[in-house]
Amino acid sequence: MNQPCYTCPMLTIETINTNDPIDHTDASRLRACESLTFPARRFILREPQDKVLVAAAAHFAKGDHTPQDPPAGFGLGWGGPNGEFELISVYTLPLLRGMGAGGRLLATVEDGFAELGYRRGFHFYTISDDDPAFTDFLTGRGWSPPVIREIICKSTLELAGETPWLMRARLAEGFAVKPWGQVTESERAAIAARQQRDAPWYAGDQDPFIFEENCHQGTSLALMQGDAVAGWVITHIPPDTQGFLRWTVSFVSPELQRSGRIAALWREVALRQAQFPELQRFTWGVPVTHPRMTAFARRRMKPWLSWMGYACTSFKDVAPPG
């Protein structure tokens, strides 16, 4: 179903409500909006999803537009269980910001889900440490204040090479690293046994066995203390990104955490990443459930980062409960 929802002298906003099977016209319109949503979510627009999609596209008003007209803004959400939906993204070209286009896109997506019987929307997003504009945009339209889930850090190998505490770190005697893919079955069993014995040895969001699938083999490393695995960094290349390596999870055994062993492990990962010219940038997250590490990120890491922000969650009731 395609119908115009708002018009103004500058633009027209239409919904692409794909509660029904997506026809060729809808598919073309969705693909035309790929560049206006997050790279990691563009797969939603490329192939059919087993979820309800509601999308809103903004077009400059110039008569009857066609699917080939480039969109000037885009909002997207998909339905979940229990009457809840996820707002994937809302984006407008810089030219339209401050003129109400983003608010109209957001309202169109919200209204589309409300008409389909959804009651509450959630949005998972990242904001810059020094730019609260998007948070202000959401809260000004009835969304809850953000709940911070983790600190997001971005850097480059060049900046890593200029970070004094990282470049000074060295593996101490008795320690070595090896590719995670070379960890033996007996070493893996020892990790699982210690996790059970120390209950827990590492937190659930540091579990290497959960995150090892499709890891980047050249930079995912195990820290060895003698014959035992004492830590790890598991990395991935995120989909639809160029030049970025994600350091997905890192951990060293608690008794080693105050002795700088993790910095030495990070340095080894960075040195191996430098062997891949196409991977000059990297990113990682620090969950707020690890307060010592979040404090370290803000105090020691931030001066050497290219960007720091926060992964947040907000919600809004778009219909009465019931």
User: Which is higher by pLDDT, 16 or 33?
Assistant: 33
Read off the pLDDT of each residue in 217-232 and give the average, rounded to a whole number: 98
- Quote the pTM value: 0.84
Q: Residue 23 pLDDT more than 70?
A: no
Q: Given this model, what pLDDT does residue 22 score? A: 39
As separate numbers, helices (DSSP H) first and strands (DSSP E) second, the chain gives: 10, 13
Q: Given this model, what pLDDT does residue 245 score? A: 97
Q: Given this model, what pLDDT does residue 69 score? A: 65
Tens digit of pLDDT for each residue in 171-206? 999 999 999 999 999 999 999 999 999 989 999 999
Strand partners, 281: 156, 244
Highest mean pLDDT: which range of 14-18, 61-65, 91-95, 121-125: 121-125
Q: Given this model, what pLDDT does residue 72 score? A: 87
**Nearest C-alpha neighbor of 160 from the set 285, 286, 279, 295:** 279
Q: Residue 71 pLDDT more than 50?
A: yes
Query: Which domains, from first to last, does the chain contain?
Result: 2-118 (3.40.630.30), 153-311 (3.40.630.30)
Q: Which tokens go with 45?
A: 């627009």
Write the CB contacts of 54 (distance below 8 Å, at least 6 apart in sequence).
Answer: 15, 16, 17, 18, 19, 76, 77, 78, 79, 85, 109, 112, 113, 116
- Mean of per-residue pLDDT scores for the chain: 89
Tens digit of pLDDT for each residue in 251-301? 999 999 888 899 999 999 999 999 999 999 999 999 999 999 999 999 999
Q: Residue 65 pLDDT more than 70?
A: no
Strand partners, 37: none
Q: Residue 41 pLDDT more than 60?
A: yes
Q: Given this model, what pLDDT does residue 61 score? A: 60
Read off the pLDDT of each residue in 162-173 and give the average, rounded to a whole number: 96
**Residue 16's pLDDT band (cuts 50, 70, 90):** low
Q: Residue 20 pLDDT more than 50?
A: no
